[in-house]
Amino acid sequence: MDSQNSQARRVLILATLAFAANFSVWTLYAVMGIQIKETLGLSSTEFGLLLASPMLTGALLRFPVGLLCEYYSCRKLFLWQMLLIVPAIFMLRWVETYTGYILIGLITGISGVSFTIGIRYVSVWFESKQQGYAMGIFGAGNAGAAITLALAPLVIRFWGWDSIGIFYAVGMLLMALIFALLAPEETAYMKQQRDTTISHHLAPLKEIQVWRFGLYYYFVFGSFLALLLWLPQYYMRAYQLDIETAMGLTLLFVTSSSMVRALGGWFSDRYGGRTVNWGVFWVCLVCLFFLSYPPTTMTIHGVEKDVKLYIEINVWVFTALVLIIGVAQGFGRASVYKIIHDYYPAHMGSVGGAVATIGALGGFTLPILFGVAVDIVGIHTACFMLLYGILAFCMMVMYFSIKSEQRKRLLREAIANNFLKQ
């Protein structure tokens, strides 16, 4: 048993580190995109598409890779995934066109499936009562984005723009080597769990609640991805900050959101994933209400003179609200996967992969929609108006699903009571 626990801890540590390394690659365009936009003269919509390109492949491949995790060694899949993206990262040195950057983004987006592989690899090593905490720690690998926001500007400053691809390619190779040498293979018992048919793993996808979980994850993870990609240029355009300050404040958002995920897992284990998720939605809704309000100038016509009012959220209030949303999203990402494990403990590959796909699609669609909204509406806060609408829809879906479950439970209790009386 002690040996099993020791291996479980090693699995959790190495999987988290590997996920962090992959996440740093997946979000690399958050830093590179600003320079690419200036060099190529991209519109907001084109910029959103550039940021979203790695998210697309990372999203679309999560579900099929989740199915593969049900039949093949997650350790080996993790290794192959890391090695597969190294050539594309290395090729960044020679890319000069918008099409080229989109293509490289699509290939490096394979790093996004590391979450699906890792969550399946980790979950089988821990008991049900520890799942929220274990998956929360693993999910803290989202901090890989913080690595990119902190490290990539320094690499560019000291070694030049051309060095970024080589630096990240070497780093990924080292991570793959460490993982290959130290990560335990799954036990014989865990391998036996793969003696199931494909229909067994696909069966839960017929249930509407799986897609509801995906909708919730679209907000808590998809909008997190979109914001970490969008915030640097938002700070620079809306508040005229320099790139170092913009990156630093975005780094604060990413780090705080990622680090609290383990705490969110603990809260979910203790109080229930749905309770935590509902609280997360309310906190985000209040913050997004204020973030959606654009800078406004009003003239009040008085008796003797006009009074002009200028209403704007300054950069520090803006940052505080964004940080609160980030922390709430960290709790939300942990709570959604706690809910999934509570309902589908034997389907973490298929159901977890499907939900992860929908969430990552948020990282693909939302930056594009942000750009389109800004181009059409013409105000910076249009992106937060969009998020407010999406969250309001998520909350309505959750509210009516809870009410529906309560009615079914009361009906079952009434039937049981009538049966006992008879």
Q: What's the 3-state SS for 12-52?
A: HHHHHHHHHHHHHHHCCHHHHHHHHHHHHCCCHHHHHHHHH
**pLDDT recorded at residue 165:** 85
Q: Which of 323, 251, 254, 261 shows the shortest CA–CA distance to 287?
A: 323
| Other C-beta atoms lying within 10 Å of the C-beta of residue 402 | 12
Q: How much is the average pLDDT of 28-32?
A: 83
**Which H or E element spans position 310?**
strand 306-311
pTM for this prediction: 0.78
Q: What is the DSSP string of 398-417?
A: HHHHHHHHHHHHHHHHHHHH
- pLDDT bracket for residue 177 (50, 70, 90): very high
Mean residue pLDDT across the chain: 83
What is the spatial distance between Cα 422 and Cα 412, in angstroms, rounded to a whole number? 16
Most confident of 66-70, 156-160, 281-285, 375-379: 281-285
Instruction: Output the CA–CA distances (angstroms, integers) from residue 53 to 45, 60, 226, in the order listed.
Output: 12, 11, 12
Bridge partners (DSSP) of residue 297 are: 310
**pLDDT recorded at residue 187:** 63
Q: How much is the average pLDDT of 214-237?
A: 89
| Alpha helix segments (H runs only) across 70-221 | 74-90, 98-108, 114-123, 131-139, 144-159, 163-182, 188-192, 198-202, 208-217
What is the spatial distance between Cα 289 and Cα 283, in angstroms, rounded to a whole number? 10
Q: Is the dihedral of CA 93, 94, 97, 103 positive or negative?
A: negative
10: CB partners within 8 A, 6+ apart: 182, 183, 184
What is the spatial distance between Cα 407 and Cα 404, in angstroms, rounded to a whole number? 5
Is the pLDDT assigned to residue 245 strictly greater than 70?
yes
The residue ranking higher by pLDDT, 50 or 136, is 50
What are the two backbone dihedrals, phi and then psi, of residue 126, each rounded to the nearest 5 degrees? -125, 150
What's the CATH fold of domain 2-191+216-421?
Growth Hormone; Chain: A; (1.20.1250)
| Alpha helix segments (H runs only) across 222-260 | 223-238, 243-259
Note the pLDDT tens digit of each residue in 75-127: 889 999 999 999 999 998 888 899 999 999 999 999 988 888 888 888 777 77
Is the pLDDT assigned to residue 253 strictly greater than 60?
yes
Instruction: Output the CA–CA distances (angstroms, integers) from residue 26 to 110, 318, 413, in the order listed.
Output: 8, 26, 49
- pLDDT bracket for residue 420 (50, 70, 90): low
- pLDDT bracket for residue 290 (50, 70, 90): very high
Q: Where does residue 15 rank: exposed (0-12), middle (13-18), buried (19+ CB within 10 A)?
A: buried
What is the spatial distance between Cα 387 and Cα 320, in angstroms, rounded to a whole number? 17
36: CB partners within 8 A, 6+ apart: 29, 42, 50, 98, 101
Q: Per-domain residue ranges for the chain?
A: 2-191+216-421
Q: Over pLDDT 90: what percentage of the chain?
A: 22
What is the spatial distance between Cα 211 and Cα 44, in angstroms, rounded to a whole number? 31
